[in-house]
Amino acid sequence: MTLKHLFTTLTIVCCTLLGFTACNDEDYAPIQLQAQNNEIKIDNNILKLDAFNPGESFVIIGGNGRYVIENKNENIVDYRYDGNALKIIPQGIGTATIIIRDHAGNHMTLTIEIANPTSSFTIVAVEAQAYGDDMTGSEMKILEKRMVDESLIKVSGDILLTYTNKECTLGSITIHPTASGRPVVGTFKKEIKSSGNNVPYQELEVRLADNRLIVWHLLNYTEEADKEMLLQEDVTATYKGAYTTLEEAKLIYTITH
């Protein structure tokens, strides 16, 4: 065989092999999850769910379409997979890992963080109202200033409620009196009540660790961020001894999420 014929033969063989390899190089899209609930977001393969969530369903996309699910933490999450939808169900508090593999060697690692649901509020203003028929205007102003000065929470302080039941009526509370202050902790009980004109409000009965009892009335509650709400505390009994003609005293916190 001449050198020219040998080169031609090698060229044909190489082209044939390269063509065969290209035809069998299956390039699949990355495995991902699409939530069936638009409010559920996966950020950087991290899914956050509250402990009382009955479960969230996802469609698996990408890969070669044939999936195997591996659950690394069955005490934290469980799952159901019917070949179409993957449902992830919280079982306990903590962090879990689920790995989704296909039969072509692709995989996705999903981190799932399960925690009790929370509500947080920031104090944007603190006001006081004091009233008594026999009190002078000067006495009321002096008392109102004292009430604001002695309020448990100042402007820029915050409140964190961590719910420990499905109905979100019981739980623990953490109060930062100021933005950099040491936290005050306790427990709370929440109940929906109605005022005399049938306007609903939330009553928060707070028992602090030092056994102090605080009762707050949360008015015009909303889930909207930056929407102002009012948190009222009746402190009449606290100041009645010093101001015998006092009839009503209220602290009013303006709060936002």
Radius of gyration, CA atoms only, the chain: 31
Domain presence at residue 25: no
158 and 106 in a single domain? The answer is no
Q: In the prediction, which pLDDT does 222 show?
A: 84
pLDDT tens for 188-212 read 999 999 887 888 999 999 999 999 9
Average pLDDT in the 66-76 region?
Answer: 96
124 and 248 in a single domain? The answer is yes
Distances (CA, A) of 249 to 2, 124, 164, 199, 202: 110, 20, 32, 21, 19
End residue of a domain, out of 115, 134, 164 = 115
Number of structural domains the chain divides into: 2
End residue of a domain, out of 99, 115, 131 = 115
**174 closest CA partner among 182, 166, 183:** 183
Whether the per-residue pLDDT at 238 is higher than 90: the answer is yes
Separation of alpha carbons 255 and 229, rounded Å:
5
pLDDT tens for 161-194 read 999 999 999 999 999 999 988 999 999 999 999 8
The CATH number of the domain holding residue 86 is: 2.60.40.1080
Average pLDDT, the chain: 90
End residue of a domain, out of 87, 115, 143 = 115
Average pLDDT in the 19-39 region?
Answer: 72
Q: Which residues pair with residue 81 across a beta bridge?
A: 86
Find the domain containing 143 and state its range: 118-256
Whether the per-residue pLDDT at 29 is higher than 70: the answer is yes
Tokens of 241: 């001894």
